[in-house]
C-alpha cells in the first residue's frame, strides 16, 4: 500500500527552528485537554445535574481513547507521513471543543471527548516522531529529555487559566479556549511546518504486528511503560479528586483549585528538571532513591493527618510526591522513546497508548474504590500507586541483575 509523495509538502530547512517551536507548543495539548477544565468539574456536575463519577468519566474517556488510538496511529504515521494527519487532527479537535461548549448533553460530551482523545493522539504522536525524524545523537537525547518538562506546562498553566475562566464565564469557556488554541497552532503549522518522514515503512499488517511484538517482548521497555503509567496516574488521581476536596470539603473557590493544580503542575516540572540534570547518573540507583523519597513523604502525609488536615498540608505533601512522579516519568520516557529510532512513530504510539490505557483504568478504578472525599483518601491512593511502583522496580532490578549475569557468563 503506497501514497503519493507529490501530495505531501516537505518541511523547508529555513522553517525548521519555527517548526520545532511549534512542535514543542503542541506537546502540552494532552495536558490542556485534561487540566483546563479541572476547576470546572464540580460546576459541570451541578449544572447538568450529574454525579461526580459521571463528570469524572469525561476525563477517563479522553484518556482511554487517547491511549488506544496511539497503539495504531504510530504505524499509520510511519507509513503515510506526519503533517497531513496532524493538521486534520488540530481542525477536528477544534470542532469537537466547540460542540462541547455548546451542549449540556453529557452523552454528546462523552462522544466529543472520545474524538478529543483520537485527535490529540494523532497530533502528539506525530510531533514526538518529528524530533526523531529531524535530530539524532546527543541533540535528540536533549530534546527527548525536554519533553516532560515542556509537557508539564499544560498541568501548570491550564488549571490556572481554567479557574479564572470558570469564575468569569462558566465551564463552557474552557472549551472555547481549547478550540482557539488549536485553530491558532493549525494556522501557524500550515505556514511554517511540513512533512518530516524520510523513511517510510510499508503498511504491512503482518510486519507492523511483528514490530509491536518485538517491542512488547523487550521486558525493560514494557516495564518502563508500566512505570510511566503509575507515575502519571498519581497526577491524574489528584486531578480527579483535588477539585472536589478543595471546593466541597474545604469550601474554597474554583480559582483556589486552579492555583493548587498550578503549583502541583510546577512540581511535575521540577521533577523533570531534576531528571534532566541527573540524566547521566546510574539509571536504576537514582530511581530507587526516588522511590524511597516518595515512600517517605506519603508516610509523613498519612501520619500528619492525625494532627492537621488543611489546604496547605494537602498541597505540600502532594507537591513532594508529584516531584518524584515527574522524575520517574522523565527518566523512563527518555529511555523508552530512544530504544527504537527506526520505528519512532510506532514506539511513540505504543508508549503513549499503553501508558494512557494504564492511567485511564487505574485512575478511574482508584477514585471509584477510594472516593474523592478528603486528604486521607488521597493519601491512600498515593500509597497504593507508590507500592505498586516499588514492586515493578523490584522486578526491573531482578531482570537487570539477571541480564548482567548472562553477559558476564558470555564474556567469560
In this predicted model, what pLDDT tens digit does every residue of 46-104 receive, in sequence order? 999 988 889 989 988 998 898 888 877 877 887 788 888 999 999 999 999 999 999 99
Residue 411 is assigned to a structural domain of this protein = no
Interval 214-236 mean pLDDT: 85
Write the burial class of residue 134 (CB in 10 Å: 0-12 exposed, 13-18 middle, 19+ buried).
Answer: middle
pLDDT at 337: 65
Please determine, for residue 5, whether its predicted confidence score (pLDDT) is greater than 70: no
Residue 219 is assigned to a structural domain of this protein = yes
pLDDT at 60: 86
The C-alpha angle with vertex 386 and arms to 381 and 390, in degrees rounded to 5, equals 150
> Per the structure block, which three cell numbers stand in for 74?
504510530
Residue 139 is assigned to a structural domain of this protein = yes
pLDDT at 411: 64
Residue 314 CA: distances (Å) to CA of 39, 155, 252, 311, 381: 16, 17, 13, 5, 13
pLDDT at 4: 43
Confidence class of residue 312 from pLDDT cuts 50, 70 and 90? Answer: very high
103: left (phi over 0), alpha (psi -120 to 50) or beta: beta
Range of the domain at 36: 18-192+205-406
Please determine, for residue 380, whether its predicted confidence score (pLDDT) is greater than 90: yes
- Residues 261 and 331: their CA atoms lie apart, in Å, by 23
Residue 2 is assigned to a structural domain of this protein = no
Residue 388 CA: distances (Å) to CA of 15, 154, 381: 45, 26, 11
Interval 154-167 mean pLDDT: 84
Residue 276 is assigned to a structural domain of this protein = yes
pLDDT at 202: 67
Phi, psi angle pair for 195, to nearest 5°:
-75, 140
Residue 200 is assigned to a structural domain of this protein = no
Confidence class of residue 193 from pLDDT cuts 50, 70 and 90? Answer: confident
N-terminal to C-terminal alpha carbon distance within the chain: 48
Residue 75 is assigned to a structural domain of this protein = yes
Residue 412 is assigned to a structural domain of this protein = no
Split into its structural domains, the chain has a count of: 1
* CATH code assigned at 392: 1.20.1250.20
Amino acid at each position: 500500500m503506497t501514497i503519493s509523495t507529490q501530495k505531501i509538502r516537505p518541511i523547508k530547512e529555513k522553517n525548521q527552528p519555527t517548526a520545532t517551536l511549534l512542535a514543542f507548543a503542541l506537546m502540552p495539548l494532552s495536558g490542556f485537554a485534561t487540566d483546563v477544565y479541572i476547576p470546572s468539574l464540580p460546576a459541570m456536575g451541578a449544572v447538568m445535574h450529574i454525579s461526580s463519577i459521571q463528570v469524572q468519566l469525561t476525563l477517563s474517556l479522553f484518556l482511554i481513547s487517547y491511549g488506544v488510538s496511539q497503539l495504531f496511529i504510530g504505524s499509520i504515521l510511519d507509513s503515510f507521513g506526519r503533517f497531513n494527519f496532524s493538521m486534520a487532527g488540530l481542525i477536528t479537535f477544534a470542532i469537537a471543543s466547540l460542540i462541547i461548549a455548546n451542549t449540556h448533553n453529557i452523552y454528546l460530551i462523552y462522544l466529543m471527548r472520545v474524538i478529543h482523545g483520537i485527535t490529540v493522539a494523532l497530533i502528539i504522536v506525530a510531533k514526538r516522531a518529528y524530533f526523531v525524524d529531524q535530530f539524532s545523537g546527543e541533540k535528540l537525547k536533549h530534546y527527548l529529555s525536554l519533553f516532560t518538562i515542556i509537557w508539564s506546562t499544560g498541568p501548570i498553566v491550564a488549571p490556572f487559566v481554567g479557574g479564572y475562566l470558570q469564575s468569569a464565564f462558566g465551564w463552557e469557556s474552557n472549551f472555547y479556549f481549547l478550540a482557539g488554541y488549536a485553530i491558532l497552532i493549525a494556522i501557524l503549522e500550515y505556514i511554517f511546518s511540513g512533512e518530516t518522514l524520510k523513511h517510510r515503512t510499508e503498511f504491512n499488517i503482518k510486519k507492523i504486528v511483528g514490530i509491536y511484538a518485538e517491542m512488547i517482548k523487550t521486558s525493560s521497555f514494557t516495564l518502563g511503560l508500566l512505570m510511566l503509567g503509575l507515575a502519571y496516574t498519581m497526577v491524574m488521581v489528584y486531578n480527579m479528586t483535588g477539585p472536589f476536596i478543595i471546593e466541597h470539603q474545604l469550601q474554597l473557590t474554583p480559582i483556589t483549585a486552579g492555583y493548587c493544580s498550578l503549583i502541583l503542575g510546577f512540581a511535575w516540572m521540577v521533577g523533570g528538571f531534576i531528571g534532566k540534570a541527573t540524566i547521566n547518573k546510574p539509571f536504576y540507583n537514582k530511581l530507587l532513591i526516588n522511590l524511597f523519597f516518595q515512600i517517605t513523604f506519603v508516610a509523613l502525609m498519612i501520619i500528619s493527618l492525625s494532627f492537621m488536615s488543611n489546604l496547605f498540608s494537602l498541597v505540600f505533601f502532594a507537591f513532594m510526591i508529584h516531584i518524584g512522579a515527574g522524575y520517574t516519568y522523565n527518566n523512563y520516557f527518555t529511555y523508552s522513546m530512544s530504544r527504537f529510532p527506526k520505528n519512532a512513530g510506532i514506539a511513540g504510539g505504543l508508549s503513549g497508548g499503553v501508558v494512557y490505557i494504564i492511567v485511564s483504568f487505574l485512575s478511574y478504578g482508584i477514585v471509584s474504590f477510594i472516593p474523592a472525599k478528603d486528604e486521607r483518601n488521597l493519601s491512600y491512593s498515593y500509597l497504593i500507586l507508590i507500592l505498586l511502583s516499588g514492586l515493578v522496580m523490584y522486578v526491573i532490578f531482578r531482570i537487570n541483575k539477571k541480564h548482567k549475569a548472562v553477559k558476564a557468563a558470555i564474556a567469560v
